[in-house]
Chains A and B, each alone.
Chain A
């Protein structure tokens, strides 16, 4: 499992595929491969990212390697009844087309086993509400890069309340102009400064 984790850290996609296949053939449980191999590797990547010890393109390389391993495991996880992680509905708010940061959050969350439903950019409140209802998500994560679109975050939280869904989800927000103070002001449950910290926060919120 350590070598799988290391290959994820090194971003070696082929190696990860090879080792995961070996482990599957060798009878190691999918759950163990996922948590002690793939996710363990991504956790190290996340820690280094928080300390600015590695570069984003390298993080993405690791995530790609991790997903390659995950693809081999998916059929097994479903049949074994071991569900994938909780669902997160993710999107950039209405009027805002900045999505590079949001995409990174999605990649990091999938990288540690969450199921991410990415609604993309320019997502109105109603879309968030609809997706949360349909996917039975536990987390909604919103991104905004403009001070002029930030208010949409509050609108979405209001829409959740109106739809009777506010109590059913945890709300996390982020983006360059967003701050912990703003998050508290609009009634969000959490804020994260970057994708690695978003993973920490989401984990904390689902308990």
Chain B
């Protein structure tokens, strides 16, 4: 069940109204004065004809503010990405908070042996199936990038694995123009026709901006293919404060916003009205360890700020939730994902990615149990977001009078009526007193999650694609392998 608007609209805010405007103005300045580098002739040409000043030699587009307004006027405020099963359709712009799993692990902890080894396509299929069963994974990203498939067909393999193992809407992968065309062929095969795919788009695909301010040719080719087809698109970035963006969080926000607006402008020039989701995942460079990390309070802070910026612009969006840099499933893995999921959910952002991820080790290592634990964390988060219902019935003055001083409420009809609605159903974490807990095996949260993973993988099977569709997808993958 999805939650409604967090705390009845009282979302967390880290930026004041003035600060939002300042960041917006600064982003406009960056777009105009510094510009963005776009390694793509046609994109530069389109921008030129729309009024941007182009430095051809440096491939830099200086983007005037009227193009930002153009883009915001044309980009739909609402978008729907569909699941193979319509009950999973994700509508944005409703104020509800949704969660997704994680992205891009290259290693797994083998579920049977516990060995840390390179991730395979089968691992991706398994974890996708796991997330298909978890109620708080609403949008399915490629949790794993398989290491056992040829690089030139990696994007097709990933898309095939996702489309085949979940009925929820997915983020597919396409790494260049040809990959994008193959992806559309896959979607068409599943939907039945191009028209059916356009009517019920079952995936989105992303362009990742390379901070600072760089749009690579292959990625822009994907944008052209997908947007021209009329299919929903996503633009994301991951500026890292002190590395690929200013060390100040505000400066990183400025860059994040500028880059995403530039991407949005491009989509709306290529195909006015194409639905686009903007996903900003700014974070930091840890300067002691010389590395990028998502597992930091700064990221959570900037995520909430980005949600405010996105709401100011009125666009479908996503922000970055839980990530832990723990290398094992320990207390750090728990507190980092817990804190980050809770705080980012309070932003009211319509999509929080990585919230139900199976990833630890800063997204590198996929561990099935972590997905189950994160799913439970999201359940607890949802209960908090649901808030407190205050009305004459819940104020319960009559009930208090009836029970009176020294009485008990346990047997009252009111309790029978309300306890299931008011109390969250805590399923995974321990609530047993010690003796019962010992009797039932003295299992810690990891062991309990493990039992749940076993149960899901043994029993949960999303509706398979028709055999002829499966064959078509396999054919597309094979062709790409060449």
Given known A147-B106, A148-B154, contact A176–B291 (CB-CB < 8 A): yes
User: Quick check: is B459 within 8 A (CB to CB) of the other chain?
Assistant: no
Which residues from B are CB-within-8-Å of A177? 106
* Proximity bits, A76-91, B CB within 8 Å = 1, else 0: 0000000000000000
* Proximity bits, B428-461, A CB within 8 Å = 1, else 0: 0000000000000000000000000000000000
Given known A57-B242, A97-B210, A177-B106, contact A147–B288 (CB-CB < 8 A): no
Whole-angstrom distance between the Cβ of A122 and the nearest chain B Cβ: 11
| A147 to B105 alpha-carbon distance, docked (Å) | 11
Q: Is the CB of A101 within 8 A of B242?
A: no
B289 partner, pick from A52, A57, A147, beta carbons under 8 A: A52
Given known A97-B210, A147-B106, A147-B145, contact A55–B151 (CB-CB < 8 A): no
Q: Is the CB of B106 within 8 A of A195?
A: no
Given known A52-B288, A177-B106, contact A100–B243 (CB-CB < 8 A): yes
Q: Is the CB of A104 within 8 A of B290?
A: yes
Interface residues of A in 179-204 (CB under 8 A from B): 194-195
Whole-angstrom distance between the Cβ of A58 and the nearest chain B Cβ: 8
* Proximity bits, B206-229, A CB within 8 Å = 1, else 0: 000010000010000000000000
Chain A residue, CB-CB nearest to B119? A147
Interface size class of B (residues with CB under 8 A): 10 to 19
Chain A residue, CB-CB nearest to B244? A100
Interface residues of A in 45-86 (CB under 8 A from B): 49, 52, 54-57
A55 partner, pick from B106, B216, B287, B291, beta carbons under 8 A: B287
Whole-angstrom distance between the Cβ of A44 and the nearest chain B Cβ: 17
User: Quick check: is A151 within 8 A (CB to CB) of the other chain?
Assistant: yes
Q: Is the CB of B151 within 8 A of A56?
A: no
* Proximity bits, A128-162, B CB within 8 Å = 1, else 0: 00000000000000000001100100000000000
| A52 to B151 alpha-carbon distance, docked (Å) | 35
Chain A residue, CB-CB nearest to B216? A97
Which residues from A are CB-within-8-Å of B247? 57
Q: Is the CB of B290 within 8 A of A194?
A: yes
Chain B residue, CB-CB nearest to A149? B151
- B154, B244, B288 pick with most chain A CB within 10 angstroms: B288
Which residues from A are CB-within-8-Å of B244? 100
Which residues from B are CB-within-8-Å of A195? 290
Chain A residue, CB-CB nearest to B147? A147
Q: Is the CB of B287 within 8 A of A57?
A: yes
Residue tally, chain A, CB below 8 Å to B: 17
Given known A147-B145, A148-B151, contact A101–B287 (CB-CB < 8 A): no
- A104, A147, A148, A177 pick with most chain B CB within 10 angstroms: A147
| A148 to B175 alpha-carbon distance, docked (Å) | 11
Given known A56-B285, A100-B243, contact A151–B151 (CB-CB < 8 A): yes
Which residues from A are CB-within-8-Å of B147? 147
* Proximity bits, B185-216, A CB within 8 Å = 1, else 0: 00000000000000000000000001000001
Interface residues of B in 282-296 (CB under 8 A from A): 285, 287-291
| A104 to B154 alpha-carbon distance, docked (Å) | 31
| A151 to B287 alpha-carbon distance, docked (Å) | 28
- B147, B151, B216, B291 pick with most chain A CB within 10 angstroms: B151
Which residues from A are CB-within-8-Å of B243? 100
| A92 to B242 alpha-carbon distance, docked (Å) | 20
Which residues from B are CB-within-8-Å of A176? 291
Chain B residue, CB-CB nearest to A49? B290
Interface residues of A in 91-147 (CB under 8 A from B): 97, 100-101, 104, 147
Which residues from B are CB-within-8-Å of A55? 287-288
Chain A residue, CB-CB nearest to B154? A148
| A56 to B287 alpha-carbon distance, docked (Å) | 5
Chain A residue, CB-CB nearest to B288? A52
| A21 to B151 alpha-carbon distance, docked (Å) | 54
| A56 to B292 alpha-carbon distance, docked (Å) | 12
Q: Is the CB of B145 within 8 A of A56?
A: no
| A177 to B247 alpha-carbon distance, docked (Å) | 25
Chain A residue, CB-CB nearest to B118? A147
Chain A residue, CB-CB nearest to B243? A100
Which residues from B are CB-within-8-Å of A100? 243-244
| A59 to B290 alpha-carbon distance, docked (Å) | 11
* Proximity bits, B57-69, A CB within 8 Å = 1, else 0: 0000000000000
| A104 to B247 alpha-carbon distance, docked (Å) | 17
Whole-angstrom distance between the Cβ of A89 and the nearest chain B Cβ: 22
| A177 to B147 alpha-carbon distance, docked (Å) | 12
User: Considering the complex of A and B, which 8 residue pairs feature the smallest CB-CB distances, nearest first?
Assistant: A55-B287, A52-B288, A56-B287, A148-B151, A56-B290, A147-B106, A100-B243, A55-B288
A-B contact pairs, 11 of them (CB 8 A): A49-B290, A52-B288, A52-B289, A54-B288, A56-B285, A56-B288, A97-B210, A147-B106, A148-B151, A176-B291, A195-B290
A residues apposed to B, CB below 8 Å: 49, 52, 54-57, 97, 100-101, 104, 147-148, 151, 176-177, 194-195
Beyond A57-B242, A176-B291, 12 additional contacts (C-beta under 8 Å) are: A49-B290, A52-B289, A54-B288, A55-B287, A56-B285, A56-B287, A56-B288, A97-B216, A104-B290, A147-B106, A147-B147, A195-B290
